[in-house]
Amino acid sequence: MRLTLLGTGDAVGTPLVGCDCPRCSHAKETGLSRLRTSLLIENGGKHILIDSSPDLRSQLLRSGSPRIDAVVWTHGHFDHFIGFGEFYRVQKIPPVYAAPQVLDYCAGYFRFLSFERNTIEPYTAFELFGVTITPFIVTHPPAFTCGMLFETGKSRIGFTSDTNRNIPKESLDLLHDLDLLLVDALVPEGFTIEKHMNYADACSLAQQLAPKEFRCVHISHFMPGDLPHLGTDGETFEFA
Ligand SMILES: [Zn+2]
Ligand SMILES: [Zn+2]
Ligand SMILES: [Zn+2]
């Protein structure tokens, strides 16, 4: 299984439109931007997209134009589902998997598209193309939001891009023996955002769960660029 970070940015991305801060200026000069956070999982020639960001078109082009076989939505925020319309006239609209309240909300927005809708339940594993996916509840008020555990062969990957540090115990209990943890770090240490973690929160969660590797995602332009464990757009990971 191969996992690609299609984007590692927050809801507005880096560079932020109209911003001339050092991070945004650097991103504009170098082209090293942070598109909105989403993941591509490839297993056995099939492609699963985790969240359909507003940057989906450029993310698909940058990653070699894979045909997407399924989409999983974590929650109904703009930056995680709104790019789904980019499949229109590009490929068959892929089937979507999401918790009932997420599916209702997001699919309602896309009522002009015809596609297969599948409900999933927190803490109930389902399988897509050889990847076992277990949604787990995180805390991202007021939106009902799931993180996802991906398992294939002997590998375990935990992902949550939108949560505060107060993740339910039942969810944390799932995230043992991870090969990779991908976790929300919106802002640097010292910032407090009610619905997200800061860098120190992300590091403390990683210390608690002790994954083999971890990367921060959903990173805003406030974050310095030189901290350890920051994910980068296009970064890929291979798993047995
Ligand atoms: Zn988000
Ligand atoms: Zn900026
Ligand atoms: Zn969100």
Whether the per-residue pLDDT at 101 is higher than 90: the answer is: yes
CA nearest to 53, candidates 11, 15, 16, 82: 82
| Average pLDDT, rounded, for the chain | 97
The pLDDT tens digits of the residues spanning 115-162 come to 999 999 999 999 999 999 999 999 999 999 999 999 998 899 999 999
User: Residue 99, CB half-sphere, CA atoms under 13 Å: how many?
Assistant: 20
State the pLDDT at residue 240.
Answer: 87
CA of 13 to the centre of ligand 2 (A): 9
Token digits of residue 235: 């970064």
What's the CA-to-centroid distance between 178 and ligand 2, angstroms? Answer: 33
Which range of residues forms the domain containing residue 133?
2-238
**Which tens digit of pLDDT belongs to each residue from 72-87?**
999 999 999 999 999 9
Q: What is the CATH number of the domain that holds 141?
A: 3.60.15.10
Distance of CA 227 from the midpoint of ligand 2 (Å)? 17
Q: How many CB atoms lie within 10 A of CB 30?
A: 9
Q: How far is the CA of 94 from the centre of ligand 1 (A)?
A: 22
- List, as one string, the DSSP characters of 143-193: B--EEEEEEETTEEEEEESS--S---HHHHTT--S-SEEEEE--B-TT---
Provide the domain count of the chain: 1
* 52 in Cβ contact with 71 (< 8 Å): yes
Question: DSSP code of 70?
Answer: E
Does the pTM surpass 0.95? The reply is yes
